[in-house]
Amino acid sequence: MLLPMLSGLSLNVVGIIAFLSFNLIAFAISVFVLFSPRLNLWLCIWNFVMDKLRYILYQKLRAKRREGLLTDIMIKEHKDIKLEVHQVTTDDGYHLVLQRFWCTRSGAAPKKAILMQHGLMENSSVYLLHGEQSIALRMARAGYEVWLGNNRSSLYGQMTLVEDHEGNVQMHEKVNESSFWNYSIDELVKYDFPAMTRKVKQISGLDKIDFIGMSQGAGQAMGSLSSDADMKDHFNSMILLSPACFLRKSPNGLLMQILLQIPESWFGVHEFMMVLSLAPLIMPDWIVGTCGYTIMKMSGFLKRPLGGAESYKTRAKWFKGVPLGCTSTVNLLHWLQVMRDGGVLTRFRTREKYNIEGMLNTWDKQDSSLHKPNVFVILGDDDCVIDHEASRAAFEERDSNNEVIVKTRKVHVANEFGHTDFLWADLENNSHIYDKIQKFLSCH
Ligand X SMILES: *[C@@H]1O[C@H](CO)[C@@H](O)[C@H](O)[C@H]1NC(C)=O
Q: Which residues would be at the binding site for ligand X (CB under 6 A)?
A: 69-71, 94-97, 123-125, 150-152, 155, 157-159, 162, 171-173, 175-176, 178-179, 182, 304-305, 320-322, 426, 428-429
E strands within 188-333? 209-214, 235-241, 246-247
Could you tell me whether strands 161-163 and 169-171 are parallel, antiparallel, or unpaired per DSSP bridges?
antiparallel
Give least dist CB 255 to ligand X, A: 20
Give least dist CB 59 to ligand X, A: 11
Give least dist CB 222 to ligand X, A: 21
Give least dist CB 318 to ligand X, A: 6
| Residue 437 identity (one-letter amino acid) | I
| Residue 63 identity (one-letter amino acid) | A
124-141 burial, b if ≥16 CB within 10 A, otherwise e?
bbbbbbbeeebbbbbbbb
Our CB check for ligand X shows the closer of 192 and 397 to be 192
244 DSSP 8-state letter: T
Give least dist CB 161 to ligand X, A: 7
Give least dist CB 70 to ligand X, A: 3
Give least dist CB 45 to ligand X, A: 15
Quick check: 224 and 193 in contact, CB under 8 A? yes
Give least dist CB 213 to ligand X, A: 17
Three-state SS at 271: strand
Our CB check for ligand X shows the closer of 184 and 237 to be 184
Which residues, 6+ apart, have CB-to-CB distance to 308 below 8 Å?
129, 130, 314, 315, 318
- Helix (H) / strand (E) containing 112: strand 112-117
Residue least distant from ligand X (Cβ):
321
| Closest alpha carbon to 308 in 225, 203, 423 | 423
Our CB check for ligand X shows the closer of 181 and 235 to be 181
Our CB check for ligand X shows the closer of 130 and 232 to be 130
CA distance 228 to 288: 41
Our CB check for ligand X shows the closer of 169 and 393 to be 169
Q: Is the dihedral angle over the CA atoms 93, 98, 418, 408 positive or is it negative? A: positive
CA distance 33 to 42: 7
Our CB check for ligand X shows the closer of 157 and 219 to be 157
Our CB check for ligand X shows the closer of 341 and 382 to be 382
Radius of gyration of the chain (CA): 21
User: Between helices 356-365 and 216-227, what is the axis angle to 10°?
Assistant: 60
Our CB check for ligand X shows the closer of 259 and 333 to be 333
